[in-house]
Amino acid sequence: MATVPLPGEKAELIERTVPFQGYFRVARYVFRQDLYQGGQSGEFSREVFERGQAAAVLLYDPVRDEVVMIRQFRAGSFAAGRHPWSWEVVAGIIEEGESPEDLVRREAVEEANLEVGALEFINSVMLTPGACSESCALYAGRVDSSAAGGIFGLASENENILVKALPFAELRAMLDRAEIDNAIAVIALQWLALHRDSLRKRWS
């Protein structure tokens, strides 16, 4: 679901070029925009990191009241000077012709060795709207966490993913202690904190 625009919020694309294309792409955009005080701005440029569109799923077992989380090395966190491992939810980049729902079901098998049952849409969010075109469609997915755990991922992509089922109460305490710094995981867990009781009733 897109952001609802306010009156007078329009932008005009003047030019787009691609100064870098590697594993990811960096594009340079030139815009003009309408101003809140009236009139239009002059031309200005922004570089945008173009990575594709993503989807993610919070793997939740309503019977055991457990969330299945994953943990893997992240180069961006390392470059930011942070500890480059953190607790995350399953996520991936949507491939051409693939729906977000199909993506999260596929990634749940690849990253956590779990089959997802019912899915509930949470939100579609921009991750870094000032610099990146990537959005993420976020879901809650019902799983059986009784056999969850282990090390998974695709060796061909240098993935080494720790999978662990954690009680919701433990994750809630970790949130309160600011021990989870992955934005999508924080959003998903906070959503679960708000909707957990009703979700357990629907998935009972």
Count of Cβ atoms closer than 10 Å to residue 75 Cβ: 8
3-state secondary structure of 32: strand
3-state secondary structure of 104: helix
Give dist(CA 137, CA 91) in Å, integer: 9
Burial of 94 (0-12, 13-18, 19+ CB in 10 A): buried
Of 157, 159, 170, 179, which residue is the catalytic one?
A: 157
Count of Cβ atoms closer than 10 Å to residue 68 Cβ: 26
Give dist(CA 135, CA 30) in Å, integer: 21
Q: Is 157 a catalytic residue?
A: yes
Give dist(CA 197, CA 164) in Å, integer: 22
- Known catalytic residues are 157
